[in-house]
Homo-oligomer: A and B are copies of this chain.
Amino acid sequence: MATTSFQFSVAAHIMTALADHNDEHVNSAFLAESVNTEPTFVRKSLSKLVKAGLVVATRGKHGFCVLARPAAAITLADIYRASEAPATFAVHNYPVEKTCRTSSNIKKIMLDILPEAQNSFEQVLARTTLADMVQRVRLPGKQTRQAK
């Protein structure tokens, strides 16, 4: 890979900033300033969040973005899936050497394990809601960790 994707990280940033200013009819230029990047780049990420049903964006003059649901009803797992970040690992795809037991079966086994590990990873993300994120951003000193 070029670098490990930070689409999820950027999406989480956008969503947190949006949740922190949810009643202010914020637009992509405002969010871009927070992330410190181009409005276009933010909109690319935003459009995925819109398609996933996490954000509602209105178009036309004075268009703006709002959360589609309360911040407490959106988790980091929702944002991760919406951000279309690559899976935690990929299974190699070399031709199978039929005379070898391992070569003949390893791919299926790995493809069996991948979703389990992926799911466990996402379960941790599901423990943190956007409301938690906003709280932590507003009270950076206090560690407002939720129960495990």
By CB atoms of chain B within 10 A, which of A35, A124, A125 has the most? A124
Q: How many copies does the complex hold?
A: 2
- A81-92 CB mask vs B (1 if < 8 Å, else 0) is 000011111111
| Known interface pairs A85-B89, A113-B76; A102-B17 also in contact (CB < 8 Å) | yes
A127-147: which have CB < 8 Å to B? 128, 133, 136-138, 140
Q: Could you jot down 22 A-B contacts, CB within 8 Å?
A: A1-B1, A1-B3, A3-B90, A4-B86, A6-B89, A6-B90, A9-B90, A9-B92, A13-B92, A17-B102, A17-B103, A35-B103, A88-B88, A101-B137, A101-B138, A104-B137, A104-B140, A105-B137, A109-B133, A109-B136, A109-B137, A117-B124
